[in-house]
Structure 1
Amino acid sequence: MSKRFKIAFVCGLALLMMSPQSVKADTTNTSKIDSQAIVNTKSITNLYTEDGKLIQNQKLGANTAWVTDQKLTYQGQTYYRVATNEYIAAGDVTISYGHAKSGIVAINDWGGVSFSHDDNGFYRNGQKNFVANSLWKYDQVDQSGGLTYYRIGNDIWVNSNDATIAVGYQNPSGWFQIQNTQIKPVGNVGYDLYNGVEGVKVYLVRKYFGYSNTHTIYDSSIAASVKSFQAHRGLPVTGVVNLATWKNMGFSESSWYSLDSYVAPLETNQTSTRSDHIEAMINQAYKYLGQTWISGAASSPQYGVDCSGLVTQALYASGINPAPVSAIQHAQVGNEWNSRMLWNDNRMPKVDFNNRQRGDLIFYTDPSTGLIWHVGILLNRDTMIESWPYAVQVHSIYSGRGNIAGVKRVFA
């Protein structure tokens, strides 16, 4: 029985697998295929001997894949060998090269040459080089001339001279998992303002009516001012700031949504190291330096934030989504103390205080209650960036923020 090089059935089975009788051709034109190639049958497919004779008592099933190592040209027709003396007509199959394997490659600093593949191997196809340091998904891998080739498009390949498999850092199982795509807003974008809500929109409304922002909260005084305003503007008198009331105060409709939906741009990717993620977190925190402390706030660097709002946006930039803690949730009633939720989240393990390092979060308790009430990001063992009344600032960890509760690690 002829030995076939079958690798997989997609559907169906080869039919009537019996050894053929064939007569070797007087002359044949064969060539070895440069690297591993796969032919896929389009339908139930005839087999031929190397002299072009139809094998009567067997066929190959439709949509099946076979390894081929040789191309035969006989009387102007092209065939691919799939067994010792069994061939498939080129018109009955599609051919692909390499083997299925997926991942991401990063183009090296000098850019990457674009290749295509035919039966004779890889060749430069003349297309524009790939941009240096760009990332590409691949779905096939092949070997040729001591190089690895990665298929990143329809017969578009780049090789290991110009590209490296992107192996980025990921936290262990059970920790916060790093995301390599932009984190999206979590919560109701465009929420109304009512008693107990905090954050940047409340800050702007309090400022509009001339109230202090020592504590940025929507309280009964704000509600009364809003009702009076609504009555004078012919709006429904609810004491709740909705979009219509917001716009009547002179604020834009776009800001009603953009203040809620801001999520720090992702500053890391699939190739980022642990250090890259830590630096992304700290770089985002520095964008708020000098901005006003605003309770319940976790929006863009155009405005202030409180301590856990600063940490939330810093985590976003580094690829960490700490949900259910989120920028929107932080402003909602009862969620001012997200520092407590972060302290209790086991996806950030506690570490020994003596082993603290840059990028760790340091937590403090209120001396009068023993409850967590503050969090900062360590810049080194003894310095942190934080939001503390009344600004985002850099300070010693021993600056009277309360009692140090401990340190938690974001990146293992």
Structure 2
Amino acid sequence: MKRTHILGSILVAAGLAMSTSSYFQGQLAQAKTYNYKVATIKQEPYVLLNDDEGKTIVDRALLAGTDWQVGKIADLNHNGTLYYQVSTHEWVNSAAVQANFDPQTGTLLTGEMQPNQTHSNTTQPNQALIGKINSTVVEVYTNNGQTVNTGDPRFTMNSAWKVNRVVKNSQGKSFYLVGNDTWISSDDMELNQAPQNVENIP
């Protein structure tokens, strides 16, 4: 996939702790105005890109406010974090952008959208269950229900995570499995649809 910046970016020196560092500069636009998949960079002042293995590319970044056509969507690190392909071997973290599409179906969205927001909580066949962080301080739980981390930097506000399992305790609180032995509660995450298979636990 060839890198496609909607508004025709230019390559400039960024000084990101390396003399060869660079980022792409462009004008502010709204992703929702395009009729194909586009991600608008929301993270200030820029976001670093990732390679095909999900590793950070320290000398490649995209400026806030620039629009980028999206190719593939993938969980590069197999931990629930979604990435959008913006060039052949470069990806941007979904938490850093405002997208004009549903990350699971590729369906374009209409209206003013928040990062990674979908239309509704209606269950759709074959649509993956995605959770969006809605808290600034997130508690992370283990399989045993123990809190292991509060304020984990991976779980930023509005970041999207693939949910592999849902359980509900006797108090009515739900927990979502988003990684290996990694759970987020319904206090800190909202789903893109009603889960179909919910396991009840004591």
Query: Would you call these one fold, judging by a TM-score over 0.5?
Result: no
- When normalised by structure 2's length, the TM-score is 0.38
Which structure: greater strand fraction? 2
Which is greater in Rg?
A: 1
- When normalised by structure 1's length, the TM-score is 0.20
- The structure, 1 or 2, with the larger RCO (C-alpha pairs under 8 Å, 6+ apart) is 2
